[in-house]
Amino acid sequence: MVLGAIAVMVVMLAELQDDASAEFAAATASRDAVQGEYYARSAINLSRLLVAAEPTMRQAIAPLFMLMKRTPPQLPVWLYADRILGAFNDKEAAQDFMGLSGLDLSRGKNLGLKGGRFEVVIVDEDAKINVNMGASNEIAHVRLARELMGRMAPIQYDPLFSQRDSTGNYSDRLAICSAIIDWADSDEQLYSCDLTSAPSSNAVEDGWYQLLAKPYRRKNAPYDSLEELHMVRGVSDDFWSTFVDPEPTDPTKREMTVWGQGTINVNTANPFTLFAVVCSGAPTADICNDATQMQLFVTGVMMAQSLAMGAPLFGSPADFIATMKGQGALGPILTAVGMKPVKFQSESDFAKSISTESKVFSIYSLGVVKGFKRETRVRIHAVVDYRTAPSLGDIAHAMTASIAGATGASSSSATQSTSSTQQDPNALALALQASIGGQLLYFAVE
């Protein structure tokens, strides 16, 4: 009887221990997940501040460019965010930051993380083709159509457009281009991507989606996410891996976006996106119709970007146009390697489709918390728009004016001061003022 009681107690204790261990592990995982999320949030906020500080950094080098009679270009500080923000990360990242900057962090207070770290990658959305231009005006439609057709133009992609897709149908370049634009525009009229004639607006959009096994309708509204492209006619897995997101684990390789200004930053775009942009403005150029010329252009851009190590190559859209025409500082180099000069249909229109300054960025932040034989990882993706963000100089000027106003009003009584503060007509405007860290367009904990 005693042995039976002991056996029952052993079973009960084993079950209790299993339950307690499971609950403890779940509680620990939840705690680490919260901690990891806030590590990632910290990296998001630090990254927003880093990008916001770039115009101030640019002013420091402005005199040098003034001597050369050039406009100082935007500094791509976001490419080195992981190293620059190392002072606020774990011990290894702090050591890397000290080696980069030559600063001694031993006297700093409240710096660094204990028990975890963050990893951050900032992606320039203005370096990619914005498919949401299909939801804009007719000029944006034409620009997007030219960029899409330019990107899909090389003959090596012919097999991709001559095979049946998963639904058993054929979708050529024109059909896919039109489908991407028609998904986002607000009308029910077919848009023609035929660049040899005027875009058609009389035909009705095709009924391809209603013929599917599980039919659905076009959205006729802007894309909410890039993944929505999977619902568009002709956007197969092969198309996605070739033209949209060639390497899902590396967001910097992505070629399309649903955010951005609409113009392409020629300093940060990859060679294939630059090729699409050039061919959108010069569809009859040799680099758009000759595979050898295309290879020379792509190779030349790759070499120039690797030698520059992230430094901007062009100070203005005019510099890029001059280079493609074989002029300027880089044009003769491209001509020397055999690339023929490009003649644009309209240089003024083409200049409106490119830029040398980015304003919209994706921040991918990963918070990592180390545990016993495991790691807890929390990933956050945020998209930030700096088009309306004030600069650090504007903020400093506003703070100086505010302090001066407060000092001038200090001679009045405390009651009057309190009353005037509560009735300040500028209080609402100050509360609604754009943040120096930009405006959040998208935020997701993944």
Q: Answer whether residue 414 shows pLDDT above 70.
A: no
Note the pLDDT of residue 435.
82
Q: Which residue is it, tokens 């595979």?
A: 291
Show the tokens assigned to 368: 């990592």
At residue 389, φ and ψ (nearest 5 deg) are: -75, 135
Show the tokens assigned to 50: 């880093």
Q: Which residue is it, tokens 């998209």?
A: 383
The mean predicted confidence, pLDDT, of the chain is: 85
pLDDT digits (tens, 9 = 90+) for 281-329: 998 899 888 888 998 898 888 888 888 887 898 988 999 999 999 998 7
Strands 256-257, 264-265: pairing is unpaired
Show the tokens assigned to 108: 């700093």
Instruction: Tell me how far apart the terminal alpha carbons of the chain are, to the nearest angstrom.
Output: 56
Q: How far apart are CA 333 and CA 379, in angstroms?
A: 43
Alpha helical stretches, state H, 186-316: 237-239, 271-281, 286-289, 291-308
Per-residue confidence band for 391, with pLDDT thresholds at 50, 70 and 90: confident
Strands 256-257, 129-130: pairing is parallel
b/e per residue, 316-346, with b = 16+ CB within 10 A? bbebbbbbbbbebebbeebeeeebeebebee
DSSP H or E stretch at residue 368: strand 360-371
197/37: higher pLDDT: 37
Per-residue confidence band for 202, with pLDDT thresholds at 50, 70 and 90: low
Q: How far apart are CA 72 and CA 78, in angstroms?
A: 17
Q: How far apart are CA 87 and CA 45, in angstroms?
A: 14
Quickly list DSSP for 317-362: HHHHHHHHTT-TTTHHHHHHTTPPPP--S-HHHHHTTEES---EEE
Helix, strand, coil percent values for the chain (each to nearest 5): 55, 10, 35
CB 208 within 8 A of CB 221: no
Residues of the chain with pLDDT > 70, as a percent, come to 88
Sign of torsion over alpha carbons 140, 182, 260, 121? negative
Note the pLDDT of residue 61.
84
Q: Answer whether residue 254 shows pLDDT above 80.
A: yes
b/e per residue, 119-149, with b = 16+ CB within 10 A? bbbbbbbbbbbbbbbbbbeeebbbbbbbbbb
401/216: higher pLDDT: 216
Q: Answer whether residue 353 shows pLDDT above 60.
A: yes
CB 136 within 8 A of CB 257: no
pLDDT digits (tens, 9 = 90+) for 8-65: 777 777 777 777 777 777 888 888 999 999 999 999 999 999 999 999 888 888 888 8
Note the pLDDT of residue 204.
76
Q: How far apart are CA 117 and CA 101, in angstroms?
A: 20
Cα-based angle 439, 443, 446 (whole degrees, multiple of 5): 160
Note the pLDDT of residue 425.
58
Strands 264-265, 354-355: pairing is parallel
pLDDT digits (tens, 9 = 90+) for 108-161: 888 888 889 999 999 999 999 999 998 888 888 889 999 999 999 888 899 999
What is the pLDDT averaged over residues 167-188?
Answer: 88
CB 259 within 8 A of CB 135: no
189: which DSSP letter? B
At residue 154, φ and ψ (nearest 5 deg) are: -50, 140
CB 45 within 8 A of CB 437: yes
What is the pLDDT averaged over residues 332-340?
Answer: 86
Q: Poorest-confidence range of 115-124, 188-197, 326-335?
A: 188-197
CB 237 within 8 A of CB 268: no
Per-residue confidence band for 382, with pLDDT thresholds at 50, 70 and 90: very high
Q: How many residues does the chain have?
A: 446
